[in-house]
Amino acid sequence: MKLITVSGPPSSGKTSVIVHLIADLRHRASRCAVVKFDCLATDDDALYASHGIDVRIGLSGNLCPDHFFVSNIDDCFAWGRRYGYDILFSESAGLCNRCSPHIEGCTALCVIDNLMGAGAPRKIGPMLKTADIVVVTKGDVVSQAEREIFAFKIRQANPSCLILHINGLSGQGSAYLSEVLLRTGDMQTLQGKELRASLPSALCSYCLGETRIGKEKQKGNVRRMELD
Amino acid sequence: MIEDYKTDTCTVEELIASHPYVREFFAMNNLPMENGYRTIASYFATLPYTLLEDLGTQPPVLLGRFHAFMREMANIRERQGVDIKSLTIRGGRDKRGNVEDIELRIGLGDLVSIVGPTGSGKSRLLADIEWMAQRDTPTGRQILVDDEIPPASWRFSSDHKLVAQLSQNMNFVMDVSVAEFLVLHAQSRMIDHYDQKIAEIIRAANGLSGEAFELDAPLTSLSGGQARALMVADTAFLSVSPIVLIDEIENAGINRTKALALLSGQNKMVLIATHDPLLALSAPKRIVVCNGGIMAVLDTSDEERQCLRQLQAMDDIQTVYRDTLRSGDSLRMCRDRACGGFHI
């Protein structure tokens, strides 16, 4: 089975891209499923189901979304194999821009959109910078020049990735991406595999439920801003 | 020129001095410049642990990314435009499955209009061209470049910009000034000396819209007409793409015929989908689309060229009336019936 990790900021078009990809992949007789990671709630299970796509949902609740992802992805992988899928997509939002679900040996996708502005590639961390493929959406609503500038900024942030433009509404461009994905290798297990980037550390009193503000309440891994 | 950097002798500062764009690598990866006096190799090897944790990465990964950056930037500089001479549209099928019996060849500097009722498939034809369709779109059309099937890498990777697009739905969204925007666009093409180019673009854009804007105007504050004019001028002078696809710019509030002349004058192939008879007849050739298929390809006849002159005169009258009303003046009817009642 192949695991494709799909990341990207909220509303960048991850779900639309995956839905179009799976439609193309089905034409090529691939069995696909999705594991959607979110924090508090999601409607995407209904959305995927409406396209006849098998989906499982993981809500991280009050845990760090990425730590939650890593603790669950190998079970998800095993689930996908057990059910006989050819390709499993994991979808996660990358909410703090420091997060990245990408794993060595699994094809890594980052979906970002043209409306984020030229500064976005700098602000997004490993989920963009370590991706194999960067999918750019919403190209139909911005100027040609801005599309070119945006693609250049992505190229600077991730010099070795493949940059593809996909229209999330029409799906134009997804057929080629599905071909690219089909050419990637299969895996037997995620046991022993490594994340491409370390996860954000979070070990302070607030991780343990502290809500009060004040220096004496701050314990553990705390870092202060320099304001003067 | 790029390969001359040696990671164990060249310092970061030296490299930036000789290749200013390298600064962007450090900015893009949030890497500090204080240790720029170190050689490239030792710079990466001595990055503080806490910074590496913040970035979630390791020195060898960053160094690998740095080499890839240098390679790619050199590639972009070398790859200045795709040198093509022609585009061929080979017919597919319309919505009912009828065969489109057509093979249309378009060359550099050619201007072709696409006409047809709403929903007839004008945008679909533009999409087929943009996508370099190879009988793999709903229309089954095939697009050849220089009489051959273009390589897959041209079709899909955004590094080969064969096609530039301009449509009514496109807007400027970046929070920068017009000048900053044009500099960004020039830099994205690795052009070093862009001042003259930028001046040229501003002049052309202001000539198209009739309402001049300044270089320090925020990009997103431009009016619809100014924005469209800037997009056209930018595409004409700063885009490497030899093919320009335009989807309905009739309501853009710019001098449309001038805009087309500007684009095709830059030796580009221009295809424009339009409902505007003025634009449709401005092109020497027009494609008629109906029910998803190409119904005919017509050459603009001498008679139609006469009609075009008439249309142009009517358009000029419109322009004068519009400008008169916009500047607060009143219109007067002409008593001389010979001029049809228009007064200019």
Whether the per-residue pLDDT at A169 is higher than 80: the answer is: yes
Instruction: Show the 3-state SS of B183-195.
Output: HHHHHHCCCCCCH
Q: How would you class A179 by CB atoms within 10 Å of its CB: exposed for 0-12, middle for 13-18, buried for 19 or more?
A: middle
Whether the per-residue pLDDT at B326 is higher than 50: the answer is: yes
Q: What is the pLDDT of residue B318?
A: 84
- Asked if the Cβ–Cβ distance from B239 to A148 is below 8 Å, we say yes
Rounded mean pLDDT of B139-154?
90
Contacting residues of B for A173, CB less than 8 Å apart? 131, 156
Select the residue from A112, A130, A152, A153 to test the B interface by mutation, using most B Cβ atoms within 10 A: A152
Per-residue pLDDT of A110-157, as tens digits, reads 999 999 988 899 999 899 999 999 999 999 899 999 999 999 999 999
Residues 6+ apart with CB under 8 A from B314: none
Eight-class DSSP state of A61: T
Is residue B1 very low, low, confident or very high in pLDDT (cuts 50, 70, 90)? very low
Rounded mean pLDDT of A48-62?
93
Residues 6+ apart with CB under 8 A from A94: A7, A8, A9, A100, A101, A124, A127
Contacting residues of B for A162, CB less than 8 Å apart? 157
Whether the per-residue pLDDT at A34 is higher than 90: the answer is: yes
Query: How far away is chain B from the Cα of A82, in angstroms, using its nearest Cα?
Result: 32
- What are the C-alpha distances in Å from B336 to residues B317, B340, B344? 16, 8, 12
Rounded to whole angstroms, the Cα distance separating B215 from B182 reads 9
Rounded mean pLDDT of B219-233?
92
Rounded to whole angstroms, the Cα distance separating A182 from A161 reads 17
Rounded to whole angstroms, the Cα distance separating A61 from A68 reads 9
Q: What is the pLDDT of residue B334?
A: 67
Length of chain B as a residue count? 344
Contacting residues of A for B171, CB less than 8 Å apart? 141-143
Choosing among 3.40.50.11440, 3.10.310.30, 3.40.50.300, 2.70.50.60, the CATH entry for A2-217 is 3.40.50.300
Q: B55 by DSSP, 3-state: which?
A: helix
Q: Measured between CB atoms, which of A146, A148, A175 is closest to B172?
A: A146
- Per domain, the residue ranges of chain A are 2-217
Interface predicted TM-score of the whole assembly (ipTM), two decimals: 0.84
Comparing alpha-carbon positions, the chain B residue that sits nearest to A133 is B157
Query: How far away is chain B from the Cα of A8, in angstroms, using its nearest Cα?
Result: 17
Length of chain A as a residue count? 228
Per-residue pLDDT of B31-69, as tens digits, reads 999 999 999 999 999 999 888 888 888 899 999 999 999
pTM over 0.90? The answer is no
Select the residue from B76, B156, B171 to test the A interface by mutation, using most A Cβ atoms within 10 A: B156
Q: Which of A16-20, A89-93, B157-161 has the lowest mean pLDDT?
A: B157-161
Per-residue pLDDT of B255-275, as tens digits, reads 888 888 888 888 889 999 999
Whether the per-residue pLDDT at A45 is higher than 60: the answer is: yes
Whether the per-residue pLDDT at A170 is higher than 80: the answer is: yes
Whether the per-residue pLDDT at B280 is higher than 90: the answer is: yes
Rounded to whole angstroms, the Cα distance separating B111 from B270 reads 5
What percentage of chain B reaches a pLDDT higher than 70? 93
Q: Tell me, what amino acid is at B222?
A: L
Per-residue pLDDT of B167-209, as tens digits, reads 888 889 999 999 999 999 999 888 878 899 999 999 999 998 8
- Asked if the Cβ–Cβ distance from B188 to A149 is below 8 Å, we say yes
**What is chain A's alpha carbon radius of gyration, rounded to the nearest angstrom?**
18
Contacting residues of A for B53, CB less than 8 Å apart? 198, 201
Rounded to whole angstroms, the Cα distance separating B344 from B264 reads 31
Write down all domains in chain B, each with its CATH number in brackets.
2-78 (no CATH), 86-300 (3.40.50.300), 311-339 (no CATH)
Query: How far away is chain A from the Cα of B331, in angstroms, using its nearest Cα?
Result: 37
Query: How far away is chain B from the Cα of A138, in angstroms, using its nearest Cα?
Result: 10
Rounded mean pLDDT of B103-132?
92
A99: nearest Cα among A204, A9, A203, A209: A9
